[in-house]
Chains A and B, each alone.
Chain A
Amino acid sequence: MKNFYIFIALLFIPWSFSVAKYSEFEDGDDIMEYDDNDFAEFEDVNEDAVTESPQRIITTEDDEEEATVELEGQDENQEDFDDADAQEGDTESEPYDDEEFEGYEEKPDASHSKNKDPITIVNVPAHLQNSWESYYMEILMVTGLLAYIMNYIIGKNKNNRLAHAWFNTHRELLESNFALVGDDGTNKEATSTGKLNQENEHIYNLWCSGRVCCEGMLIQLKFLKRQDLLNVLARMMRPASDQVQIKVTMNDEDMDTYVFAVGTRKALVRLQKEMQDLSEFCSDKPKSGAKYGLPDSLAILSEMGEVTEGMMDAKMIHFLTHYADKIESVQFSDQFSGPKLMQEEGQLTKLPETKKTLLFTFNVPGSGNTSPKDMESLLPLMSMVIYSIDKAKKFRLNREGKQKADKNRARVEENFLKLTHVQRQEAAQSRREEKKRAEKERIMNEEDPEKQRRLEEAALRREQKKLEKKQMKMKQIKVKAM
């Protein structure tokens, strides 16, 4: 549908050009020509007019009929012009009586001198030159637009093919593990659509659910923007890869409380800064995983050593070492709430909601120049995801670990409360003031003076009580201090 609109709109461009170009040929110059030439034969002094009109014939180019008629009528004059200039006046005046031309002797001289002046070639403005070459900038622009459109179509198709290749490779594994594969949220009943959900020309989603342990799994195929020529050119400077992002939301009872991440060092440093949970719970810098046999490219961020020990079992290490080049980051977290929100002063009064989540980010091999066949190499990574889901369910912290984890979480909450303590106080204060003001207004608005008096008295009494309470408290504190 979008493509159709583009083509229609494109048709307007050449049409408008043609309209613009030929509009200037509707001048009224032709009429003047007629006037001059109608009387040209009768006016003897019109040598100048006669010299000019053949030029005009050459420059305008339409109405060739006119040209032929005039040429015929002025054939003898044309021949005369080919000869030397001085002879013109003489040859013309010969058949006529000399007496009639007494006063006109200067005229041949005048025309003679004029004819000796250099003929200035008028600079015809560019848009009247009937050549397309002068419009080369426009042609360049239109070519650029066409190139953009071609790239759009090619890029869109390539992304589409890659997405479907991925899905075809992974379909079997997904369908054997999940009851619901593919859902776009529009149907009332939960039925598998069995199709990718296209969000964009470069982002495809897939929602799978219906498995033990996890609530659901959202897979996002984030391809490069191959449909945008600017992006393609930018990528020539800075290569990037397509990414597959998988987010598994776990049921509350199926995952213990820990925060753990493994991935490339660069990715972990970035995540530690950006992600709320990693920054709060994993305070150390990413550590090397060489102790567990991981390659140097991968690093580990963990809440506590016990979690790392538990996570790094043989199979996981096998996965991580074999597919290290494709793994960007893997994050298991029970306190996942997304990236840090930009907080404004006084706005945040509650901790953001957390969800137990497993996050995986994989890079598609090929670093931009991927082909549909490369998608097959991602299949083992999906097996790793499935394995991780089961592992997360099975892994439980021992007593010590659990205590530490609980302490960490309590600490984080306390810090948060402290930070917002001032804000919460202010909020409570303002609420109290609001109440007082509302009451005062009510009292003022009471029309009945009796009622007004009574309400005022009640308010006074309440305030006195409060003051007394405060005094009592102060006394108690003094006593305790003593």
Chain B
Amino acid sequence: PAPSNSAAPRYKPPATETNPALEDPTPDYMNLLGMVFSMCGLMLKLKWCAWIAVYCSFISFANSRSSEDTKQMMSSFMLSISAVVMSYLQNPQPMSPPW
């Protein structure tokens, strides 16, 4: 059947994500986790917390949808970087491994 070039109504794509529950929750969880870890790292002066926060914010960024706000991503990223920097300024000793 030939394609209809007549004035048959052509539709715009409907909202592709009508059900937000179906979306992958990973970026949101990772964002939250990253913020929690960076706060822990800042308050408790734990270096490994701050490093994990950096990783979390990277993972959240990699999994994010394009509709997501870049400002949110950047803020969590900057928070984790600042947690790392602050931990090292307060205590320049290198991190000791847990074993």
Question: Could you tell me which A residues sit within 8 Å of B by CB distance?
Answer: 1-2, 5-6, 9, 12-13, 16-17, 19-21, 23-24, 125-127, 134-138, 141, 144-145, 148-149, 152, 176-180, 183-185, 190, 197-201, 205, 207, 209-213, 215-216, 218, 220, 225, 227-230, 338-339, 342, 390
| Complex interface: chain B residues within 8 A of A177 (CB) | 3
A180 touches B10 (CB 8 A): yes
B16 touches A199 (CB 8 A): yes
Fill in one digit per residue for B60-94: 1 if any A CB lies within 8 Å of its CB, else 0. Answer: 01111111001000100110010011001100111
Query: Which chain A residue lies CB-closest to B5?
Result: A179
| Complex interface: chain A residues within 8 A of B93 (CB) | 125-127
Query: Which chain B residue lies CB-closest to A177?
Result: B3
Q: If the complex has contacts A12-B81, A126-B93, A127-B94, are A2 and B61 also in contact, measured as CB distance less than 8 A? A: yes
List 14 interface pairs A-B (beta carbons < 8 Å), by A numbering: A1-B70, A5-B70, A13-B84, A20-B85, A20-B89, A125-B93, A135-B94, A179-B10, A190-B11, A209-B10, A212-B1, A216-B13, A228-B62, A228-B63
5 smallest CB-CB distances across A and B, nearest first, come from A207-B13, A190-B10, A137-B95, A127-B92, A16-B85
Which residues of chain B in 1-24 are interfacial with respect to chain A, using CB atoms and an 8 Å cutoff?
A: 1, 3-5, 8, 10-14, 16, 19, 21-22
B66 touches A199 (CB 8 A): yes
A138 touches B94 (CB 8 A): yes
| Complex interface: chain B residues within 8 A of A152 (CB) | 62
Shortest CB-to-CB span from B52 to chain A, Å, is 9
B55 touches A144 (CB 8 A): yes
| Complex interface: chain B residues within 8 A of A215 (CB) | 11
- B35 on the A face (CB < 8 A): no
Given contacts A5-B77, A199-B16, A201-B62, 5 further A-B contacts (CB under 8 A): A16-B84, A16-B88, A127-B92, A136-B94, A216-B11
Q: If the complex has contacts A20-B89, A207-B13, are A134 and B3 also in contact, measured as CB distance less than 8 A? A: no
Q: How far apart are the CA atoms of A13 and B50 in the complex, in Å?
A: 13
- B51 on the A face (CB < 8 A): yes
| Complex interface: chain A residues within 8 A of B88 (CB) | 16-17, 20
- B58 on the A face (CB < 8 A): yes
A145 touches B94 (CB 8 A): no
Looking at B8, B13, B93, the one whose CB has the most chain A CB atoms below 10 A away is B13
Shortest CB-to-CB span from B89 to chain A, Å, is 5
Shortest CB-to-CB span from B49 to chain A, Å, is 12
Shortest CB-to-CB span from A330 to chain B, Å, is 20
Shortest CB-to-CB span from A250 to chain B, Å, is 13
| Complex interface: chain A residues within 8 A of B94 (CB) | 126-127, 134-138
A178 touches B3 (CB 8 A): yes
| Complex interface: chain B residues within 8 A of A178 (CB) | 3
